[in-house]
Structure 1
Amino acid sequence: MRLALFTDTFFPQTNGVALTLNRLTRHLERRGIEHLLFTPKSAPEEQYAGSIRPIASIPFLLYPECRLALPNLPAIRKQLSAFQPDLLHMATPFNLGLCGLRYANTHNLPHVISYHTHFDRYLEYYRLQKIVPLYWRYMRWFHQTCDATFAPSQETIDTLRMQGFQRLRLWSRGVDCTFYTPAARNTDSVKERYGITAPLLLLFVGRIAPEKDIATLAQAMQQLPDNVRSQMHLLVVGDGPMLPELRSQVPGNVTFTGYKHGEELAELYASADLFVFPSSTETFGNVVLEAMASGLPVIGVNAGGVKDLVMPGVTGSLVEPRRADVLAEEISRLAALPSLLADMGREARNHALRQSWESIFDGLIRDYEEAIETRRANREIKTG
């Protein structure tokens, strides 16, 4: 199999799509599957090697840290013609995804598309609700010729099916349980580093942006009773456009760390006592699974892909979205139940241990092969 991938975000950018695709390319290399990946250039040229093809880009208006590709179509077509892909995978529906889609349809090649982000829900946070119908019209057009649409959760599949999408397949996400592990716990060191004296450590990891409902968490921390607030401290790991505003709003028991990676991030996960993630726009929630692998119970919201991950009363709890008062009540309730937190943390770890990246990526490769064979069989029927 020769595979061409098109994505408008990739490592070293820090988001679920970029990190998942980075893991996928490494898995393809281990399996000996030849591939090219086209992505906007977001780092020095020397950081791209092997199968990665960086494309000139400019910052994207709504997400300045993300890039909008300025593709050289003849150059991309020349590379694809030389490579002769058996299948094309469009991971995003923007400029580079359109390049891949056009090439696949022009040459009648098998092609699949993955759906990673509920952009329709994002639009509400940026006061652009009026263009949601146009968004869905465009997305139905983009997906209509594909041999499969991959979605990361059952909630996302149900959403797409309601919008008229067909040929839907589940492509879930895994977690590295040897990297994200309770063994990385070093609470005393973390507390000393950030000047924390409270006994209970809460954690949020993600982009500090409106669509992550981070304002709901900030309000919940303000609404905690004084006796509860004094017993806990929240670490917010990430960065984004709302950071300056939130810094001026949160109480003194909230610390912003910026983006963290590698062993330092794994240590922060494992050193916390409770993961709090109020986002209602997730198609999956990679950070939730990383927290669970680290032995953390999770307070999430009963919306989006997170509700497929958290088992209420077993691995954590789910609360009503965008309700700071309800979130504050749940934080207060669980803070008073340390033995329950410990039990849910162990169950969360057990759940994560069953989510292997290797098996998930091998399943995706089988879906690739099926798309190629189905397209080939249909072509033979039409010609024979």
Structure 2
Amino acid sequence: MKIAVFTDTFYPQVNGVVNAIRNFNSQLTARGHEITVYTSGKKPGVSKMDGAEVRRYIAFTLPPYPEFEPSPNVIGPAASAIKFKPDIVHAHTQFMMGYSAWMAAKRLGVPLVGTFHTPVDEYVMYVAKHSKMSQRLLKRIAREYQDFFYKRCDIIIVPAPSAAKYLHVKNKPIVTVSNGLNLSRYGPEGREEVRKRFGLTGPVIMHGGRLSYEKRIEGVIDAMPLVLEKVPDAKLMIVGRGPAMKFLECRVKALGIEQSVVFTGYVSDEDFPKMFAAADVLAINSPVETQSLIVLEAMATGLPVVGADSAAIPDAVVSGENGYLFKPDDSKALAEHLTRILTDGELRAKLKAGALRTASEHSLEKSADKLLKVYEQALEIKAKKKSLLQAIRSRRSS
């Protein structure tokens, strides 16, 4: 099968969307499928990665999110994909490359599969920070465009069941396909190396991923003074970088806990599993996860997860089995759960076993099998539509 993948974010950016695309590309190309990725970047060109061809088109930087580099060129990727003649067009983002994917699929008459990774309207407030009126207007525009795009897909994929609530699309099949994990990457390897590098000697709470405002990482930081009252040698390790980094550093300084918080900065995809190995528990306060891959990665390493009871996090975290849930921004409840896990070895062992069981249900192999079934379903839907159109045209001409 020939597959054209469109995305506005790709390596060297490190985020859940990029990880999901790369993981699926590795799996599907290893099974003999041919994939071309169409994306943006500051250095346009053609390269190979994870068995797939990668075509990059000139990008510009979006000031509120300097790491997001969309391309103004929607014609070029579509034209290239038309020459590639894929059986399936798969859009992982609904922005410029998503629009280009729709153009290519429409011209070729092939199925358009859209994975919904990002609820765009939830991010608007960080683009128009100083105007409530602008936020409301942009939120409405973002939601309407989001629905416009996904209504044009033949099948919509969500990485977790709860993500479907962000979509207002009727009469379209919506299927759940977990982004999947390469479970062999996660384990205890690298624990001592990372702990030594960052001076981690006691219990470690980890937060990982892009440091962006909508993730509300300050809620995790605000819990630390309460944790330190009971576990004075605990450390919070914040892994990654992003536009909110200076804001978070100021928050740490304002609370006077600089000695108990470590910002690692950028960590390569290859080294990221070692960061989980160095930790004892993962904390996440984000209310906008469509599937928190970081949660599953932590669980694959055996880490209990204390997560906000919001969006897709409850799809993975079950209180008392593999971690605990708390009301978003309730730093007191978060601190209580973290303290209990860090001070109770028997409980930690129980939650670790539950975390590993949960992660095993999201293996990359299982997810790739499901994705291929979705592609087959999309081809069947498209074939039925074509047959119906042909029948209608025949009746009109007779």
Q: TM-score, normalising length from structure 2?
A: 0.88
Secondary structure class of the residue paired with 1:58: coil
The residue type equivalent to 2:233 in the other structure is Q
Q: Deviations over 1:40-67 (max 9, x none)?
A: 0245857556521111111123321121
1:328 is paired with a residue of what secondary structure? helix
Partner of 2:274: 267
Distance in 2 between residues matched to 1:93 and 1:331, nearest whole Å: 37
Q: Which residue of 1 aligns with 2:8?
A: 8
Report if aligned partners of 2:66, 2:243 keep a CA contact under 8 Å in 1: no
Q: Which residue of 1 aligns with 2:17?
A: 17
SS at match of 1:59: coil
Which residue in 2 is equivalent to 1:282? 289
1:141 and 2:148 matched: yes
Q: CA deviation at 1:172?
A: 1.1
The structural deviation recorded for 1:265 is 2.3
Q: Secondary structure at the match of 1:68?
A: coil
Which residue is 1:88 aligned to? 89
Instruction: Tell me how far apart the structure 1 counterparts of residues 37 and 270 of structure 2 sit (CA, whole Å).
Output: 27
Following the alignment from structure 1 to structure 2, what is the Cα–Cα distance between the partners of residues 165 and 330?
A: 42
Is 1:246 aligned to residue 248 of structure 2? yes
- Distance of aligned partners of 1:262 and 1:90 in 2 relative to their CA distance in 1, 3 Å threshold: closer
Deviation of the 1:81 alpha carbon: 3.3
| Residue number among 343, 355, 363 corresponding to 1:348 in the alignment | 355
Letter in 2 for 1:96: M
What is the aligned partner in structure 1 of residue 106 from structure 2? 105
The answer to whether the aligner puts 1:172 opposite 2:203 as a matched pair is no
Q: Which residue does 2:167 correspond to in 1?
A: 160
Distance 1:222 1:269 in 2: 22
Aligned residue in 2 for 1:335: 342
Question: 1:239: Cα distance to partner?
Answer: 0.6
| Aligned match for 1:207, one of 197, 205, 210 | 210
Instruction: Report the residue type matching 2:225 in the other structure.
Output: Q
* Structure 2 Cα separation of the partners of residues 296 and 180 of structure 1: 11
User: Could you say which residue in structure 1 is the equivalent of 2:194?
Assistant: 190
- Alignment-mate amino acid for residue 114 of structure 1: T
Q: Structure 1 CA distance, aligned partners of 2:346 and 2:382?
A: 54
| CA–CA distance in structure 2, aligned partners of residues 270 and 77 of structure 1 | 42
**Residue type matched to 1:201 in 2?**
V
CA distance in 2, matches of 1:221, 1:239: 20
Name the counterpart of 2:132. Answer: none
Distance in 1, Cα, partners of 2:178 & 2:113: 15
SS of 2:312's partner is helix
The residue type equivalent to 2:205 in the other structure is L
Q: CA deviation at 1:248?
A: 3.0
Q: Which residue identity lines up with residue 307 of structure 1 in the other structure? A: P
- Provide Cα deviations, 1:75-98, integer angstroms capped at 9, x if missing partner: 444423322222211111111111
Q: Secondary structure at the match of 1:195?
A: coil
Confirm or deny that 1:376 pairs with 2:370.
Answer: no
Letter of the 1:24 counterpart: F
Task: Decide whether aligned partners of structure 1 residues 81 and 240 sit closer, same or farther in structure 2, where only a CA change above 3 A counts.
Answer: closer
RMSD: 2.1
- Tell which deviates more after alignment, 267-276 or 119-128: 119-128
Q: Secondary structure at the match of 1:178?
A: helix
The share of aligned pairs that are identical, in percent, is: 29
Deviations 1:322-362 (A, max 9, x none): 12222222222333322101210121012212321112112
Matches of 2:331 and 2:384, distance apart in 1 = 54
**Which amino acid in 2 is paired with 1:4?**
A
| Counterpart secondary structure, 2:320 | coil
Q: Which runs of 5+ in 2 are unaligned?
A: 130-134, 392-398
**Contact 1:212–1:280, Cα closer than 8 Å, also in 2:** yes
Q: Distance in 1 between matches of 2:38 and 2:365?
A: 23
Partner letter of residue 251 of structure 2? Q
Report how many residues are paired.
378
**How far, CA to CA, are the matches of 1:81 and 1:348 in structure 2?**
44
1:297 corresponds to which residue? 304
DSSP-derived class of the 1:67 partner: coil
TM-fit CA distance, 1:273? 1.1
Moved more, 131-140 or 312-321: 131-140
> Partner of 1:81: helix, strand, or coil?
helix
Shift of 1:300: 0.4
Greater displacement, 22-31 / 258-267: 258-267
Please report how far the alpha carbon of residue 219 of structure 1 lies from its aligned counterpart in structure 2 after TM superposition: 1.2
Asked if 2 retains the 8 angstrom alpha-carbon contact of 1:12 and 1:42, the reply is no
The TM-score normalised by the length of structure 1 is 0.91
Uncovered stretches (5+) of structure 1, i.e. residues with no partner: none
What is the letter of the counterpart of residue 250 of structure 2? S
Distance 1:263 1:79 in 2: 31
**Deviation of 1:21 (Å):** 0.8
Is the 8 Å Cα contact of residues 273 and 296 (structure 1) preserved in structure 2?
yes
1:262, distance to aligned residue in structure 2 (A): 4.6
- State whether structure 2 residue 38 is matched by structure 1 residue 55: no
Structure 1 residues 301-337: Cα deviation after superposition (integer angstroms, max 9, x where no partner): 1001111011110000000001222222222233332
